[in-house]
A and B are shown apart, each in its own frame.
Chain A
Amino acid sequence: MTVYSIIFYVLSAIILITTGIAITRRNLVHAVVYLVFSFFGSAMMFYLFGAPLLAVLEVIIYAGAIMILFLFIIMMVKVEASEERLFPIRQWLPMALMGVVYLIMGTVIVSSAPGSQVTLEIALAKPKAFGEYLFQTHWLVIEIVSLLLLVALIGALYLGRKKPADDI
């Protein structure tokens, strides 16, 4: 039990607890803020796994951009929070049963698989090496992703026009 494993277990407990709190909030703003906590935990876990650039990007993009976009949408339109009856049992019981079955099956499979007992060693991918690897071997995928982001931008602009056409 090294200090790294203690950090890992504490971080995973924080991530699971904050995500669990987030999905049960009735108030959407509280849910989004708890999810920001969860993504900070994920960023620290990326740092622990030796990916400092990804940790920074996770904080900037996930916690900084995406969650703030959610907050903007929530504040732009008025959400009637009291209308939603939280978790009708007819709806969550099958999901919970299936989830427990999947969790047990997954734990058995993971603990009996031959490669899963390998202990992770501490390593660090320097941002410079990571960027060189990314742009030397995956430059085409970078272009495709930039095209995808452009399409998403145009699509969001088109959907968010002032007056939606009445007949679609």
Chain B
Amino acid sequence: MIVPFGHVLILAGILFLIGIFCAVVRRNLIMIVLGVEIMLNAASIVFVGAALRWQHLEGQVFALFILAVAAAEVSVGLALIVYAYRRTGSFDPNVYNSLK
């Protein structure tokens, strides 16, 4: 007996909100990508908890795929950040206004 399933949902919800907060409020591209990582981690916690709740392996399989997608996303995202830094010399998204 661990805990009710709702507590897992509430924990993951708070973690997801922290990730959204980080992605929305911070003015640094690296911190924005970190916020996305926190959100993906919260989603995988829910999947593993659901796998235990229904005693089925499907949730763990999806947590594994979330891991792979997070790795792909962060590699391309960081390459984009380095590319933007080389062109503009800044991490601040407010500086990227060359279309103005």
Contact = CB atoms under 8 A, between A and B. Distances in A.
Contacts of B52: 49-50, 120-121, 123
Contacts of A35: 34, 37-38
Nearest to B14: A16
Contacts of A129: 57
Contacts of B67: 54, 57-58, 61-62
Contacts of B79: 155-156, 159-160
A106 B13 contact: yes
Interface in A1-42: 2, 4-5, 8-9, 12, 15-16, 19-20, 22-23, 28, 31-32, 35, 38-39, 42
Contacts, number: 226
Contacts of B73: 152
B24 A95 contact: yes
Interface string B7-51: 111110111011111101111101101110110010011001101
Interface string A44-59: 0110111101100110
Per DSSP, chain B at the interface is helix
Interface string A79-111: 100011001000110011001001100110011
Contacts of A106: 9-10, 13
Per DSSP, chain A at the interface is helix
Given A5-B2, A120-B4, A120-B52, A164 B18 contact: no
Given A49-B52, A50-B52, A116 B9 contact: yes
A120 B75 contact: no
Interface size class of A (residues with CB under 8 A): 35 or more
A130 B49 CA distance: 15
A42 B41 contact: yes
Nearest to A9: B3
B24 to A, nearest CB: 5
A91 B70 CA distance: 27
Contacts of A155: 75-76, 79
